Amino acid sequence: MVQIKTPEQIAKMREAGLVVAAIHAATREAAVPGATTMDLDQAARKVLAEHDAKPNFLGYGGFPATICTSVNEVVVHGIPSDEVVLKDGDVISIDAGAIIDGWHGDAAFTAFVGSGHAPELLELSRVTEESMWAGIAAMKQGNRLIDVSRAIETYIRRQPKPGGGKYGIIEDYGGHGIGTEMHMDPHLLNYVEKRRGKGPKLVPGFCLAIEPMVSLGTPRTEVLEDDWTVITTDGTWSSHWEHSVALTEEGPLVLTAPDGGKAKLAEHGITAAPDPLA
């Protein structure tokens, strides 16, 4: 069952989404050489407290921190720690969430620590982020869930990988519905798997967390002994981008983007829905 939201409920999700955007801004600034991933977690906690919001990661299935900090070959669900010190040249994905009055926001971004990153890493992040926006642009009335998956995969597959070969679209993790819970139906693959069918039709009130995860090598992953940290099986580095998006009568609204997705959607010829909090 897909939870369809009213305009009033989407406005609450927009409030939560803006808190997530503030967490992203604070953690991006904190992600410098010499900082620990726990420093980033503390920065996120401060933002949540300032906005009287609750974390949706802390305690979720026993997760022990406020955000996920996934460095280099870690794809998702990295646990913040005083022992993980960021170094010049690292790549980190920061996944954060917030709850306002029972409504959730969830988004992730990839950041570059320091300088001197290889061009292939910069391109990996660009391709992953742009595939997310291709998926967001497919959030149209009358489309189905598979159209979002197809848009993400098609964008990635059309990008030449520096040095040859193909990007690895992570197989075991994907996007999801979001609303009164962080993870809800439907599950969103970042590639087309025909045996799953076309999925539900996208209608106003449909909300998705769209989050491609892409590696420089394999699409396969394994979970470390902490039962959370997910790494690529071949040790190649990865990128992760995510936004929470609501489909409204006026079009898509990117709940976790400061501008509601206006600028990036315009690049796809799409007008973002009006911000209910404006």
Q: Residue positions in the annotated binding site for substrate?
A: 77, 183
Strand order in the sheet with 168-169: 168-169, 213-215, 238-240
DSSP string computed for 155-201? HHHTSPPTTSS--EE-SS--EEE-SSSSSEEEEE-SS--GGG-S-PB
Q: Binding site: what residues are annotated? A: 77, 95, 106, 176, 183, 211, 242
- C-alpha span between 195 and 212 (Å, rounded): 20
Residue in 30, 47, 48 with CA at minimum distance from that of residue 39: 30
Q: Binding site for a divalent metal cation: what residues are annotated? A: 95, 106, 176, 211, 242
Q: Residue 52: left if φ>0, alpha if ψ -120 to 50, beta else—which one? A: left
Backbone angles phi and psi of 246, in degrees to 5: -115, 135
Give the bridge partners for 68, in sequence order.
95
